Structure 1
Amino acid sequence: MGRSIARRLVSTLATAAVVTAGLALPMSPASAQTGSATGYATQNGGTTGGAGGQTVRATTGTQIHEALCERPSTSTPIIIEVEGTINHGNTSKVSGDGCETADDVIELKKISNVTIVGVGSGAVFDQLGIHIRESRNIIIQNVTVRNVKKSGSPTSNGGDAIGMESGVRNVWVDHVTLEASGGESEGYDGLFDLKNNTQYVTLSYSILRNSGRGGLVGSSESDRSNGYVTYHHNRYENIDSRAPLLRGGIGHMYNNHYVELHKSGINSRAGASAKVENNYFEDSKDVLGTFYTDERGFWEVSGNIFDNVTWSSQGDENYPAGPDPQSNTSVSIPYSYELDDAGCVPEVLEQTAGAGKGNRISDGNCEAEEPTDPDPTDPDPTDPDPTDPDPTDPDPTDPDPTDPPNGTNLSIGAGADGSSKASGTSYGNVVDGDMSTYWSPSGSTGRISVKWGSNVTVSTINIREAAGAEGNIGSWRVVDHDNGTVLATGSGAGVITFDPTTLRKINFEITSSNGTPRIAEFETYAG
């Protein structure tokens, strides 16, 4: 899509190990578990895994089972560092007082206080799933699980890359890569499934890709005992559906990047509630709603970007939230968290998500781009003289609906960001007072925003197209970024008015075009 790296991106990346002057230093590839649990995994007593216990190294699945079984009890803390490829040929059942294991699957059953972390040159679970059952306080970090099958040969873990069921509590899965090579017809099932009373789970900084099913919470419409699940800073790519599917319970999705969701994305149904904020949805279909059932779910939305997202029409067992997603519930989150700007999410995740990224994280303060406002104390010869009327402006004595409103343009001195931008353009160009510079989306649609450091009241905006691009903007909507409220809809550039609204950030979202949009100025006025 031609995105540029956000100016503040490098300074917002951090590791739990070393940060110098705000610049993230790559961790050693041999590093073990780092960081602390986030999201719902911090609740219900927290999730610490094997912290404080013995650290052992395993290069086969059988050795992982041996490490579990040799503990004095099923709750003795242990950190298992895994290196190499774990597969059917080296994973066998082991018996002991500290475990209940099985052949051809990594079985974490009726145990607690365990960390499995990839180290060294990496840990790959090849065609072999990780099964968590009747267990609690588990951490899985920095591993790849790929091509787990439920049919064909070989099979493992019911086809789930990571699956949890039967009274599971407090699991943190972080910096993992979960992938398949097709859908159910090719023998694969879900990448990340939770069912039968599984609660307080977080999936963070991970990649889920190339699968028919991303994952579910609840195995059927009657399995509603699951929930309190957080999904943040994950990249879903080339997934048919279930990103995730929620049946009952609460899910919190923030700062995720969804790319090429072919059939549906976040499917909130059977009374589930999803808090969906500051995510980037791209090149996808029906990314939020209730699908394939009449048992509706709910959602609260804010700060999301919908970039080339298509929506189907509502019908039987099909209730998409778009094309203008609005909140239909309110979800209270009991833990603290920091939000990256949605426009920054794709670049953040390119550097942090998945196994083998040094467990790098964002500090939650990433913005799509720093303001590029000119220094008012440093006159630029290319800037227009405010005392010299722009010859391209219409005659002020000739009223025209595209004339700027009276008053102060609040955009001068403000910041700007947006969805992905075309090469050679800048977000800051729409707030610099210069009609010769402009922002253009990387495709035919996109979002451009003006933002302030404190509340301002806006009731009028003026969208001014660059020379040669007049008439290229088709349909649009104006959105209060702070709460997702749609303030106005219409088509074409020019002056747009709405009820006075107090906010910190306002979005102009282009939903169709007659050519490549070029916005020279996004002016804002109090009246």
Structure 2
Amino acid sequence: MRLYAALGTTAVAAATGVVLLMPEASAATGGVTGYATQNGGTTGGAGGQTVQASSGTAIHAALCNRASSSTPIIIQVSGTINHGNTTKVSGSSCNTAADKIELKEISNVTIVGVGGGAVFDQLGIHIRDSSNIIIQNVTVRNVKKSGSPTSNGGDAIGMESTVRNVWVDHVTLEASGGESEGFDGLFDMKDNTQYVTLSYSILRNSGRGGLIGSSESDTSNGYVTFHHNLYENIDSRTPLLRGGIAHIYNNYYVSLNESGINSRAGARAKVDNNYFRNSKDVLGTFYTDAKGYWQTSGNILDNVTWSASSSENNPAGPGMASTTTVSVPYPYSLDGASCVPGIVGQTAGANKGLQVSTGNCSVTAGPATTRPATSAPVTTRAATSAPATTRPPTTTAGATTGAPSGTNLSIGAGADGSSKADGTSYGNVKDGNISTYWSPSGSTGQISIKWGSATAVARINIRLAAGSGTITSWRVLNADTGAVLTSGNSNGGVISFSRTSLKKVTFEITGASGTPRVGEFETYAS
């Protein structure tokens, strides 16, 4: 069998951090739905060589040393990819840059996170003049267009200039603010980008979720499907659609602060069975007199407010009546909107085990993303099997009972607390990521999960992040009334109490050795 010959010698591979494996099927080759199934379909690097990379330079080397720019390749990525380990690599089959992951003038590529996860830190992914691309199971965070360092015009994932057939799946895209803090869009498409699906992903903490079309005259984009995604704490653009067609179904929107789905310049959006919560102006034409259109069905509005109509604002609410009809050319299954918060909470984002909805309000496990145990590396680097990308165990030291089952009610809820240590955030305890956390400013403090309406809770699971101090005593409070639901002295873990209907539950740390790091504050109905 011909190996990835153009990568050259063992010395080259070792220098770039690339490990070559025997050909295998990618975890991402099956399961795509939506518009990415059209125009010939989206298969990424299926059937091609599999390469492992732990740096941006290694990713570029894998692209540049293919036999041609269209030779299929699957790049399994692990670790943190940043400016420090990403350089330009030259070759006949690529066109790369040092300040971003550049997928330019290429085709038939899969980038998939494996092992303990892949994080693109302050480094965006740029797709230009390319086709048949899959990006799966990665986190892209804090990409800036101003300040330092800058990357990809401030977009976490950006596509432009004749891009076709892209599937982005089970990714986490996040910023730490809006344009004034140096960030731009999380998921942008412009200048003739078509046949794209974004599925089972998290987009959060950004001024701009994403756009389709960079201006009112850039209407050559479209045929984009958004399904089973979580949009949380976004000011606007979920997405902004200029021209073209978008199918938007089974997404969970929480805390859209200014506006949500913005259909304008003749765009048409099919908006089915989504759940909108604690948000403003979730659908309409905003900030322009160039109207767009929508077809709506089965959506749930939970504490949604609406602006008055004006010459440049045409909100769809409160009735959300359809203004057009949109037909889609592919089959799909709809979860009921009432199930969407739970389904999205279990499935969306990186490192969730690639779980997907069955289409009837239940979840099935996705494919494993680890390399096969039989894969043999070509270099002298040791061959080790990477662990699965499933979510970390739900138990921690000091657990008081077995791991809870059911939906984690904290996903999509709000969070607040007492003073927090520098660099930590209340929202980190409900993002599904054990590596991000909240810490009190000292050794004691409070962290709370809150909902817009009364929610029944009977168990919480306090999962501590690595490096946490030891919690020696705590209380669980009904923050609505101040009542103590239970107390104890374990170091986090699963805590049970009488099922209580409340809008806010508080975990109060009353004693600790060192500074606690609460990675996840999970809540369950039973």
- Of 43, 49, 53, which residue of structure 1 is paired with 2:44? 49
The separation in 2 between residues aligned to 1:34 and 1:357, in whole angstroms, is 17
1:373 matched to which residue of 2?
none
| Preserved contact between residue 261 and residue 282 of structure 2 (Cα < 8 Å) | yes
1:227 matched to which residue of 2?
222
Structure 2 letter corresponding to 1:128: L
1:58 matched to which residue of 2?
53
1:285 matched to which residue of 2?
280
CA displacement 1:261-300 (0-9 Å, x = unmatched): 0000000000000000000000000000000000000000
2:110 matched to which residue of 1?
115
**Shift of the alpha carbon at 1:444?**
6.3
Task: Report SS of the residue matched to 1:323.
Answer: coil
For the pair 1:95 / 2:68, whether they are aligned, the reply is: no
The separation in 2 between residues aligned to 1:327 and 1:129, in whole angstroms, is 36
| Preserved contact between residue 34 and residue 359 of structure 1 (Cα < 8 Å) | no
2:147 matched to which residue of 1?
152
The 4+ residue runs of structure 1 with deviation greater than 6 A are: none
| Preserved contact between residue 285 and residue 291 of structure 2 (Cα < 8 Å) | yes
| Preserved contact between residue 78 and residue 115 of structure 1 (Cα < 8 Å) | yes
**Shift of the alpha carbon at 1:33?**
3.3
Task: Report SS of the residue matched to 1:63.
Answer: helix
For the pair 1:259 / 2:254, whether they are aligned, the reply is: yes
What's the % identity of the aligned pairs?
Answer: 77
Structure 2 letter corresponding to 1:130: I
CA displacement 1:204-260 (0-9 Å, x = unmatched): 000000000000000000000000000000000000000000000000000000000
Task: Report SS of the residue matched to 2:342.
Answer: helix
1:338 matched to which residue of 2?
333
CA displacement 1:158-212 (0-9 Å, x = unmatched): 0000000000000000000000000000000000000000000000000000000
The separation in 2 between residues aligned to 1:34 and 1:361, in whole angstroms, is 14
The separation in 2 between residues aligned to 1:278 and 1:60, in whole angstroms, is 40
- Of 173, 178, 182, which residue of structure 2 is paired with 1:178? 173
The separation in 2 between residues aligned to 1:299 and 1:70, in whole angstroms, is 45
- Of 185, 209, 212, which residue of structure 1 is paired with 2:204? 209
For the pair 1:106 / 2:101, whether they are aligned, the reply is: yes
> Aligned-pair RMSD on alpha carbons?
1.9
- Of 158, 164, 168, which residue of structure 2 is paired with 1:163? 158
1:248 matched to which residue of 2?
243
The separation in 2 between residues aligned to 1:166 and 1:36, in whole angstroms, is 26
Task: Report SS of the residue matched to 1:125.
Answer: strand
Structure 1 letter corresponding to 2:82: N
Q: Return the TM-score normalized by structure 2.
A: 0.64
Structure 1 letter corresponding to 2:139: T
CA displacement 1:2-30 (0-9 Å, x = unmatched): xxxxxxxxxxxxxxxxxxxxxxxxxxxxx
The separation in 2 between residues aligned to 1:367 and 1:122, in whole angstroms, is 25
**Shift of the alpha carbon at 1:323?**
0.8
The separation in 2 between residues aligned to 1:78 and 1:109, in whole angstroms, is 15
Please show how residues 321-360 of structure 1 align to structure 2 within 5 Å.
321-360=316-355
| Preserved contact between residue 341 and residue 367 of structure 1 (Cα < 8 Å) | no
Structure 2 letter corresponding to 1:113: N
| Preserved contact between residue 32 and residue 119 of structure 1 (Cα < 8 Å) | no
The separation in 1 between residues aligned to 2:453 and 2:32, in whole angstroms, is 40
Q: 1:308 to 1:71 in 2, by over 3 A?
A: same
Task: Report SS of the residue matched to 2:158.
Answer: strand
**Shift of the alpha carbon at 1:344?**
0.2
| Preserved contact between residue 29 and residue 44 of structure 2 (Cα < 8 Å) | no
The separation in 2 between residues aligned to 1:188 and 1:313, in whole angstroms, is 29
For the pair 1:269 / 2:264, whether they are aligned, the reply is: yes
| Preserved contact between residue 36 and residue 48 of structure 1 (Cα < 8 Å) | no
Structure 2 letter corresponding to 1:237: E
**Shift of the alpha carbon at 1:37?**
1.7
- Of 291, 294, 300, which residue of structure 2 is paired with 1:296? 291
- Of 363, 374, 385, which residue of structure 1 is paired with 2:358? 363
The separation in 1 between residues aligned to 2:171 and 2:96, in whole angstroms, is 22
The separation in 2 between residues aligned to 1:66 and 1:367, in whole angstroms, is 41
Structure 2 letter corresponding to 1:157: N
Task: Report SS of the residue matched to 2:339.
Answer: helix
| Preserved contact between residue 289 and residue 312 of structure 2 (Cα < 8 Å) | yes
Q: 1:84 to 1:443 in 2, by over 3 A?
A: closer
The separation in 2 between residues aligned to 1:358 and 1:56, in whole angstroms, is 20
The separation in 1 between residues aligned to 2:152 and 2:177, in whole angstroms, is 17
Q: 1:445 to 1:302 in 2, by over 3 A?
A: farther
Structure 2 letter corresponding to 1:94: V
The separation in 2 between residues aligned to 1:325 and 1:46, in whole angstroms, is 33
For the pair 1:33 / 2:28, whether they are aligned, the reply is: yes
1:312 matched to which residue of 2?
307
Q: 1:363 to 1:293 in 2, by over 3 A?
A: same
Structure 1 letter corresponding to 2:143: V
| Preserved contact between residue 196 and residue 223 of structure 2 (Cα < 8 Å) | yes
**Shift of the alpha carbon at 1:367?**
7.7
Please show how residues 413-492 of structure 1 align to structure 2 within 5 Å.
none
The separation in 1 between residues aligned to 2:103 and 2:33, in whole angstroms, is 21
The separation in 1 between residues aligned to 2:34 and 2:320, in whole angstroms, is 24
**Shift of the alpha carbon at 1:320?**
0.2
The separation in 1 between residues aligned to 2:324 and 2:29, in whole angstroms, is 36
**Shift of the alpha carbon at 1:104?**
1.4
Structure 2 letter corresponding to 1:294: D
**Shift of the alpha carbon at 1:38?**
1.1
The separation in 1 between residues aligned to 2:210 and 2:95, in whole angstroms, is 25
Unaligned runs of 5+ in 2: 1-25, 364-408, 411-450, 456-502, 504-526
**Shift of the alpha carbon at 1:316?**
2.1
Q: 1:367 to 1:69 in 2, by over 3 A?
A: closer
Larger CA Rg, structure 1 vs 2: 1
CA displacement 1:458-517 (0-9 Å, x = unmatched): xxxxxxxxxxxxxxxxxxxxxxxxxxxxxxxxxxxxxxxxxxxxxxxxxxxxxxxxxx9x
The separation in 2 between residues aligned to 1:75 and 1:365, in whole angstroms, is 38
Q: Return the TM-score normalized by structure 1.
A: 0.64
